[in-house]
Chain A
Amino acid sequence: METTRKLIRKQSLEKLYNQLSASRKIYAPVIAADKKVEYKYNPSFADVTFDHLRSTLSVKNVVFPKVENLFYYSNSKTESTIADIDLNKIPEVVLWGAHPCDTAAFDTLRSIFCWDITDEFFAKRLEKLVVIGLSCHLSDEYCFCTSVGLSPNSIKGSDILLSPLQNGDFVADILTEKGNNILLSSTELFESIGEVNLNITEVKQKFNHEQVTAKLAGAFENPFWVANSLRCIGCGACAYVCPTCACFDIQDETKGKNGRRYRSWDSCGFGLFTLHTSGHNPRHVQSQRWRQRIMHKFSYMPDRNKSLGCVGCGRCSSGCPVDMNIAEQLEALQNI
């Protein structure tokens, strides 16, 4: 679809927000009591932040919730039944103010959940999602979107991308059919626009991801992995805050004879992830798990899923308690 560029003033933005939230759920960033940024369903516009760097958790849970019920069951000695989840009940959601790294992650997730056979839970959630992205006017030393083929104002994954102007107004790039529908239903809020100077941050490129991918093909046995993961304590923080990590666990939970099977986030950083019942563990030490994390994102996924498993948001590195800085390691890997 041809993209259109419009101007939307700060006060019109509030109207747009309220119009959207009147008809569907809206998921927007707010600053919590502890100063951390979190996304919440239906906050009031006054609480929504436009100046956040990165939220603690990514926004992947709008399409890949930390717990997703797969079906309900009832099981007794005499009768067993399974009741499907009604996917049509999945609500329409507007994701508001997600940065380009987070919006790009939806494509990555699609490449995982929809390669080969389609995961209908993910697909339905994505179908019901409208993404209003927000270009970044802030960045920090952990950001590396430009190293993975993105930028602080890349349009990937957004239906409408808002970009801030110096005066507090925004440029709205209408990028998809879904975005256009919003434009059409609120035309009065969008104004035409001439040449403008966007207030976009600069993110320094730290490595070349294609070169990293090429290097990784022959790096499996490199001593790099042990040397650079001795300090990894093996928690799942990096995977859980990551916008593209999609590994999951499947579990049952029963009360009486009724219960549900659900899937929940998991992490390849845990020893339990690959542990066999026999006690054998294919990845029995942490360096192997760290290698798996990087290999999966930068070598296996480009090969198998035709997408890079990283969007350069920097959450894993800023959230790591022992400074396992992924960009730094990739930079080093590029040069081994």
Chain B
Amino acid sequence: MSDFEPKIVAFVCNWCTYAGADLTGTSRIKYASNVKIIRFPCTGRIDFMLLLKAFANGADGIIVSGCHPNDCHYTSGNFHAKRRWIVFKELMDFMGIDMNRVTFSWVSAAEGAKWAVVVNTTVTRIRELGPYVSYKELVNKSVEEEVKNE
């Protein structure tokens, strides 16, 4: 599996983590390049469906990151998000969808170094877990179900 390059999608909030990731770059901190960053106004805006869509479209791992508690630009978006992720994680665990592939983190605009750590540890972990074969199979199987009669 040494040549496996994980595809990671990061859903980040505009005000903290996105700025933090910027800082990582401007501070010239090197980190894994497997991550595709998608910017949202707030973690509260990150719908759980987006995570499922990321997996469905081939992501092997996901990062969800926003402002630390009490630092939300909109006061409480991240608190709401926290509750949502607690519940979502339990549902995913119940259904056997691998939550080890999802990293949730708080990365502030000043934590450029932390962002690099978050990405690197995620990439390392996903590298160990390998591609998310079972989810990809589910998606492919569903397409096959529909063409089998052709």
Contact = CB atoms under 8 A, between A and B. Distances in A.
Contact of B147 (A69, A125, A255): A69
A214 interface: no
A68 B146 CA distance: 7
A90 B146 contact: no
A67 interface: yes
17 contacts: A65-B146, A65-B149, A67-B145, A67-B146, A68-B149, A69-B146, A69-B147, A69-B150, A85-B150, A86-B150, A89-B150, A90-B149, A90-B150, A91-B149, A125-B149, A255-B57, A262-B146
Interface in B103-150: 145-147, 149-150
Interface of B: 57, 145-147, 149-150
A216 B146 CA distance: 39
Contacts, number: 17
A187 B9 CA distance: 63
A321 B36 CA distance: 46
Interface in A56-74: 65, 67-69
Nearest to A262: B146
A58 to B, nearest CB: 16
Nearest to A41: B148
In this complex, which of B145, B147, B149 has the most chain A Cβ atoms within 10 angstroms of its Cβ? B149
A275 B149 CA distance: 31
Nearest to B148: A41
B78 to A, nearest CB: 32
Contacts of B147: 69
B56 to A, nearest CB: 10
A65 B146 CA distance: 9
A31 B149 CA distance: 22
Contacts of A90: 149-150
Contacts of A262: 146
B52 to A, nearest CB: 15
Contacts of B146: 65, 67, 69, 262
